[in-house]
C-alpha cells in the first residue's frame, strides 16, 4: 500500500506537541512504555462501555451526544498510541504500512472471503 | 494545536484502503462498531502482554525482536481505530485536535505539574 | 445477600495453592498488584477474542471445542482475580457481597426494569 | 489440586442470586455472552486505571479509600465472571481446577523458576 508523505509530517507534529505537553507538566516520569500501554487499554475500555449493552445495529446509530463522547475516546486512544510509539522509537506510519501488507498475505481474498475465521484457521 | 493538512489526506488514503480490504473479503457484515470496538481492545491487550511481567525500566528496553512485534501490534490498533472511526463517521484528526485542546484546559501546567492525579482530583 | 461459609474456605484453599505455586517458581517478584492487574485484563481480552466477530445469538452457541477454550480463559481470570485480591489483602467474598448490596440500591427494580442505562442516567 | 465442596455451593448461591437480580430487572435481553464479555473487560479496565500511573512498589500500598474502590471493582469482575460462566453453562470451580492442573504441567518448577517467560518460550 501507499502512504502519502503527509502522514509522517502529521505524526511528527503530534509527537512533538505531546512531548511538549508532557514535559511542561513533568510527566515523563509517569510515561514509561509499560504505563502508557495501561493507559491505552483503559481508553479502549472507555469505548467498550459505550457499546456493551447495545446491539450491533444500534451501535451504528448512537445518539449524537454519545457519538461526540466516543469521538473523544477515540482521540484518547490516538494520543496514547502516538505517545507509546514515540517512547518506544516506533514509526506508526511505517508499522501500519507493513502490517497492511502482511494482512494482504495472511488473508488472501479467495480464502478469507465471507468468513470471520482467524488466518490460522483458514 | 495545529495539525498539518497532510494528516487528513493520509487518513483518507488509509480509510479508503481499509474499506477496500474489507469489501473485497465481504467483511463489512462483521465490522459493526460494536465488533470493531472489541477487536480494538483485543489488540490493546496484545500490547499489554508484552509489558505485564517487565519492570518500567525494562519496558524502555525491549529486545529488538519483541519491539518489532510490538510495532505490529500498535499498527493493528491504528488500523482498527481508523476503521471504527470510519464506521462511526468520526474524523480522528479533528477529534484529536479537539481532545488535545481540552487536555490543555483540564490539566493546566501550574496544577498538573509533577502529579499523576486525574483532573477531577487536581 | 447471603454467602455460604463454604466460599470463604474455598477461597482460602485457592489463595494458599496459588501462593505456593508462585513461591515454588520464585514468581512473587513478578506478582505486584500492578502486574497482576495487567495479566487480568490480558486474560479478559482472550475471552473477547472468542466473541468479537460473532453475533449475540451465536455467542450463546459456541462450538464445543471453543467453549472448552473459553472455560479455561474464565479460569485464568478467576485465578488472577484471586491472586490480585490476595496481594492487596482484599476478601473477594466480602467485596462481592457488598457490591451486590450496592447494586440493589443503585438499580431499584422499578427504575432499572428493561433499560440498559447506567445508574447515573436512571 | 483440591477444591472444597463449599465452593460449588457458593457458586450456586451466587449464580442463583445474580439470575434473580437480572430477571427482576428484565435484563436477560442484554446479558448475551458477547455483551457480558464486554462488561467483564470494562471492569478489568477500571482496575487498570487505579494502577496505571503508580509504580509497582506503590501498587502494594494504595491509600485506604482507593483500596476500598479497587475491592468493589474486583467484585464487579467476580460478578460478571460468574454471570458469563452461567450463561455459557461453564462450571468455574471445575474449570479453575483443570486450569491449575494444566499450569503445573506448562510451568514445571525446574524450568519456570525465577523466569517471567511464557511457557511457549521456556
User: DSSP letters along C51-98, please?
Assistant: HTTS-HHHHTS--HHHHHHHHHHHHHHHHHHHHHHHHHT--HHHHHHH
- Whether residues D56 and B53 touch (CB distance < 8 A) is answered with no
Are C17 and D1 a contacting pair, CB within 8 Å?
yes
> Scanning every residue of chain A, which has its alpha carbon at the shortest distance from the alpha carbon of C117?
A53
What burial letters (b/e) apply to C83-122, b meaning 16+ CB within 10 Å? bbbbbbebbbbbbbbbbbeebeeebeeeebeeeeeeeeee
In a mutagenesis test of the C interface, which of A47, A65, A116 is the best target, namely the one with the most C β-carbons within 10 Å?
A116
| pLDDT cut 90: percent of chain B above it | 79
- Rounded to a whole number of angstroms, the CA Rg of chain B reads 18
Q: Could you give the C-alpha distances from C56 to A57, A106, B35, C70, D15, in angstroms and in order? A: 11, 27, 11, 16, 21
> In chain C, what are the helix, strand and coil shares in percent, each to the nearest 5?
75, 0, 25
Give the residue from D107, A116, B42 showing the smallest Cα distance to C73. B42
Q: Could you give the C-alpha distances from D65 to C32, C104, D69, in angstroms and in order? A: 19, 22, 6
In chain D, the domains with their CATH numbers are 5-90 (1.10.287.1080)
Nearest-Cα distance to chain A for C26, in Å, is 22
Nearest-Cα distance to chain A for D97, in Å, is 29
Per-residue pLDDT tens for A10-36? 778 889 999 999 999 999 999 999 999
Contacts of A54 (CB under 8 A, 6+ apart): A62, B34, C116
Angle at D62 between CA B113 and CA C44, to 5 degrees: 100
CB pairs under 8 A between A and D: 35
Positive/negative CA dihedral, D74, D106, C69, C38 = positive
Per-residue pLDDT tens for B75-88? 999 999 999 999 99
CA distance D74 to D70: 6
- The x, y and z cell numbers of residue C59, run together, are 455467542
Query: Does residue A1 carry a pLDDT above 50?
Result: no
Nearest to A38 among C38, C53, C54 (CB): C38
- Whether residues D52 and A35 touch (CB distance < 8 A) is answered with yes
What does the pLDDT read at residue D120?
A: 85
Per-residue pLDDT tens for A55-97? 999 999 999 999 999 999 999 999 999 999 999 999 988 899 9
- The x, y and z cell numbers of residue A14, run together, are 503530534
What's phi and psi for D53, nearest 5 deg? -105, 5
Nearest-Cα distance to chain B for A39, in Å, is 10
Q: Give residue D29's pLDDT band: very low, low, confident or very high (50, 70, 90).
A: very high
Q: Within chain C, which residues score under 70 in pLDDT? A: 1-8
Query: Does residue D8 carry a pLDDT above 80?
Result: no
What was the ipTM of the complex prediction? 0.93
pLDDT-wise least confident of B44-53, B91-100, C72-81: B91-100
> Scanning every residue of chain B, which has its alpha carbon at the shortest distance from the alpha carbon of D53?
B116
Question: What's this model's pTM, rounded to 2 decimal places?
Answer: 0.94
- Whether residues C10 and D93 touch (CB distance < 8 A) is answered with yes
- The x, y and z cell numbers of residue B55, run together, are 519492570
- The x, y and z cell numbers of residue D57, run together, are 512498589
Q: Give residue A120's pLDDT band: very low, low, confident or very high (50, 70, 90).
A: confident
Contact list in D for residue A45 (CB cut-off 8 A) is 41-42, 44-46, 48
CA distance B57 to B59: 5
- Rounded to a whole number of angstroms, the CA Rg of chain A reads 18
Contacts of C110 (CB under 8 A, 6+ apart): none
Q: What letter does residue A55 receive in the DSSP assignment? A: -
Nearest-Cα distance to chain A for B98, in Å, is 8
What does the pLDDT read at residue A112?
A: 94
Contact list in A for residue D44 (CB cut-off 8 A) is 45
Q: Which chains touch A (3 or more CB pairs under 8 A)?
A: B, C, D
CA distance D98 to A32: 36
Nearest to C56 among A41, A55, A116 (CB): A55
Contacts of A30 (CB under 8 A, 6+ apart): B116, D53
Which comes out higher in pLDDT, residue A10 or A37? A37
Mean pLDDT computed over B15-20: 95
Contact list in C for residue A54 (CB cut-off 8 A) is 116
Nearest-Cα distance to chain A for C38, in Å, is 7
Q: Which residue has 525494562 as its cell numbers? A: B58
Are A53 and B34 a contacting pair, CB within 8 Å?
no
Number of helical (H) and strand (E) elements in chain C, helices listed first: 6, 0
Contact list in C for residue A41 (CB cut-off 8 A) is 41
Q: Which chains touch C (3 or more CB pairs under 8 A)?
A: A, B, D
- Whether residues B54 and A34 touch (CB distance < 8 A) is answered with yes
Q: Give residue A122's pLDDT band: very low, low, confident or very high (50, 70, 90).
A: confident
> Scanning every residue of chain B, which has its alpha carbon at the shortest distance from the alpha carbon of A84?
B74
Q: What letter does residue A31 receive in the DSSP assignment? A: -
Nearest to C48 among B41, B48, B53 (CB): B41
Amino acid at each position: 500500500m501507499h502512504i502519502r508523505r503527509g502522514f509522517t509530517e502529521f505524526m511528527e507534529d503530534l509527537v512533538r506537541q505531546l512531548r511538549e505537553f508532557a514535559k511542561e507538566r513533568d510527566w515523563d516520569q509517569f510515561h514509561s512504555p509499560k504505563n502508557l500501554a495501561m493507559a491505552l487499554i483503559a481508553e479502549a475500555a472507555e469505548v467498550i462501555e459505550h457499546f456493551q449493552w447495545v446491539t450491533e445495529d444500534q451501535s451504528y446509530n448512537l445518539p449524537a451526544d454519545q457519538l461526540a463522547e466516543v469521538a473523544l475516546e477515540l482521540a484518547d486512544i490516538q494520543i496514547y498510541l502516538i505517545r507509546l510509539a514515540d517512547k518506544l522509537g516506533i514509526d506508526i506510519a511505517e508499522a501500519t504500512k507493513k502490517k497492511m501488507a502482511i494482512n494482504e498475505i495472511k488473508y488472501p481474498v479467495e480464502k478469507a472471503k465471507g468468513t470471520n475465521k482467524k488466518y490460522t484457521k483458514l
